[in-house]
Amino acid sequence: MEYNDDGSYLKKDEWFGYRVIYPVKNRDGTTNWFNILTGGSWGKLIVTCLIVFLILFSVYAYKKDVKTCYEVIENPCDYCQLNPVVNYGRGIELPENWDYSLIEEG
50 and 30 assigned to the same domain: no
User: Do 51 and 64 reside in the same domain of the chain?
Assistant: yes
The parent domain of residue 72 ranges over 41-89
pLDDT value of position 55: 98
Dist. CA 63–CA 61, nearest whole Å: 5
DSSP for residue 102: G
User: In this structure, are 19 and 59 located in the same domain?
Assistant: no
Query: Considering the domain boundaries, does residue 5 fall inside one?
Result: yes
Instruction: Please give the distance of CA 54 from its chain centroid, rounded to a whole number.
Output: 2
Q: What is the pLDDT of residues 71-103, one digit of tens each?
A: 888 887 776 666 656 555 556 666 777 666 656
Q: How far apart are CA 71 and CA 77, in angstroms?
A: 10
Query: Is 16 domain-assigned?
Result: yes
Residue 50: pLDDT above 60?
yes
User: How confident is residue 65, by pLDDT bands cut at 50, 70 and 90?
Assistant: very high
Whether 24 and 57 share a structural domain: no
> Looking at the structure, do residues 4 and 26 belong to the same domain, yes or no?
yes
45 shares its domain with 16: no
* 13 shares its domain with 52: no
Share of the chain above pLDDT 90, in %: 20
- Alpha-carbon gap, residue 45 to 75, rounded angstroms: 45
